[in-house]
Structure 1
Amino acid sequence: MIAPRRVLVYAGTVASVLAVWALLAGTGAVAPLLLPPIGDVWQALTDLASEPSKLLEPVGTTLEETATAFGIAALLALPTGVLVGSSRLLRRAYEPVLTGMNALPLVILYPVLAATLGVGSHSKIALGALYAFFPIAIAAARATATVDGRLITAARTMGATRAQWLTGVVLPAVLGPVLAAMRVSLGLALVTVIAAEFIAGAAGIGYQLGTASQSLDSPGLFAWIVVACLVTVAVNLLFSLATHALQKGVHR
């Protein structure tokens, strides 16, 4: 549950942003093309809400691509990180590679992905998965490396197989750091998918942003920016609730 003070801080921040926006747009300090009046943006949002398909289809496309990218990244990154972290040799060899790749602007690979997989959803999913992969793998590797070796030795002494001590000892120990990294990776996947849709897409929130931008529809552009922000907040909140429930269940 969100604390009341935090709600007040969020509400105050939103109110401050809206007040500054209204002041700048109302006084003409910023051209309407760059910062449209709040009323015009609200009207654009109302128009979107009046035709649910115009709103739900792009949002659904983006969420589907994001979920697929994040799922692929998590399924590949978690075992990779645990494997790297469970061996000192592998950790010394591959952790610098993982951290180095994580620092790269992987968006430069999008032309290659688009040429290979096409400009449809596959290339966007692949780019989103790349961005989401490395934070999870790094967190899993570092958390695995800090697991008390005596616990693993005790599990082995009791006859546990490698799979059993990995799932029974290592995974519960790394769950917290990995879930925190997954939260970051989910946000990266969402932002990356929207950016790829903006660059070369035929559907999704990013495509709608690009279309509004190219047609100089400033209220429409800001309306879709608001939609993107709301979707991001909703996804983050849902993931936080899910991870909280998962951690609570594991540590019972």
Structure 2
Amino acid sequence: MIAPRRVLVYAGTVSAVLAAWWILAATGAVAPLLLPSIGSVWQVLAALAGEPSRLVEPIGTTLRETGAAFAIAALLALPIGVLTGSSRLLRRAYEPFLTSLNALPLVILYPVLAATLGVGSQSKIVLGTLYAFFPIAIAAVRATANVDARLIVAARTMGATRGQWLRAVVLPAVLGPVLAAMRVSLGLALVTVIAAEFIAGAAGIGYQLGTTSQGLDSPGLFAWIVIACLVTVAVNLLFSATTHLLQKGVQR
């Protein structure tokens, strides 16, 4: 659960942003083309809410692409990270390599992906997978390397099977850092997919952002920015709740 104080902080931050937005738009300090009024953006949001298909289809497309990218990244990164972290030789050889690749602006690969895979979902999923892969892999490497070997030896000495000491010793030690990295990776996958849809897409939240931007439709653009923010917050909250339940289950 979110603590009441955190809720107040979040509410205060949102209120401050909305107040600054209203003042800048009402006083004309920023041109309406660059910063539309809150009322005009609200009208667009209300119109979209009145036609659910105009919201469901773009959001559904983006979430499907993000989910696929995140799932592929996790399925690849976890075993690779654990395997690399369990060997000193592999860790010394590949951890710097993974860290270096993680620092690269992989979005520059998108024109190549779009040329080879097309501007549909496949290129977005691959790019999202690349961005989501490295934080999980690096966290798995470091978490596995930091597991106290003496605890494993003690568990095996007491007759624990491989499955038992993996569950009782390794999993609790690795789970926290890996889940934290997965939360970051999920956010990266979502942002990357939206960016790819914006650059060259035919559907999704990013496509809507690009369409309204090119059409100089400022209220529509800001409405989709608000929607993108709300989707990001909802995905983050859902993942946090899921991982909280998972951690409680493991601790039991």
Distance in 1 of aligned mates of 2:165 and 2:81: 16
Mark the runs of 5 or more structure 2 residues left unpaired by the alignment: none
Residues 1:55 and 2:58 are matched in the alignment: no
The one-character-per-residue Cα deviations of 1:63-110 (angstroms, maximum 9, x if unpaired) are 000000000000000111100100000000000001001100010111
* 1:117 corresponds to: 117
List, as ranges, runs of 4+ consecutive aligned residues in structure 1 with deviation greater than 4 Å. Answer: 163-168
Distance in 1 of aligned mates of 2:196 and 2:232: 16
Residues 1:64 and 2:27 are matched in the alignment: no
What does 1:133-212 correspond to in 2, within 5 Å? 133-157=133-157, 158=159, 160-161=161-162, 165-212=165-212
Distance in 2 of aligned mates of 1:58 and 1:18: 25
Percent of pairs with identical residues = 82
Mark the runs of 5 or more structure 1 residues left unpaired by the alignment: none
Distance in 2 of aligned mates of 1:41 and 1:223: 5
Question: Which residue type is aligned with residue 131 of structure 1?
Answer: Y
Distance in 2 of aligned mates of 1:159 and 1:17: 55
Q: How far apart are 1:172 and its partner, in Å?
A: 2.5
Q: How far apart are 1:180 and its partner, in Å?
A: 0.3
TM-score (norm 1): 0.96
* 1:73 corresponds to: 73
Structure 1 counterpart SS, 2:142: helix
Distance in 2 of aligned mates of 1:183 and 1:159: 32
* 2:219 corresponds to: 219
Structure 2 counterpart SS, 1:104: coil
Distance in 1 of aligned mates of 2:156 and 2:11: 53
* 1:85 corresponds to: 85
* 1:107 corresponds to: 107
Relative to structure 1, is the Cα distance of residues 233 and 150 closer, same or farther in structure 2, using a 3 angstrom cutoff?
same
Distance in 2 of aligned mates of 1:12 and 1:149: 47
Distance in 1 of aligned mates of 2:104 and 2:202: 27
TM-score (norm 2): 0.96
Q: How far apart are 1:212 and its partner, in Å?
A: 0.1
What CA RMSD, in Å, does the superposition of the two structures yield over aligned residues? 1.3
Distance in 2 of aligned mates of 1:49 and 1:2: 27
The one-character-per-residue Cα deviations of 1:232-252 (angstroms, maximum 9, x if unpaired) are 000000000001000011101
Question: Which residue type is aligned with residue 54 of structure 2?
Answer: K
Distance in 2 of aligned mates of 1:105 and 1:209: 22
Distance in 2 of aligned mates of 1:69 and 1:166: 27
Distance in 2 of aligned mates of 1:249 and 1:174: 15
Q: How far apart are 1:160 and its partner, in Å?
A: 3.4
Distance in 1 of aligned mates of 2:122 and 2:35: 34
Q: How far apart are 1:167 and its partner, in Å?
A: 4.9
The one-character-per-residue Cα deviations of 1:98-141 (angstroms, maximum 9, x if unpaired) are 10011000101111111221111000000001000000000000
Relative to structure 1, is the Cα distance of residues 165 and 118 closer, same or farther in structure 2, using a 3 angstrom cutoff?
farther
Question: Which residue type is aligned with residue 176 of structure 2?
Answer: G
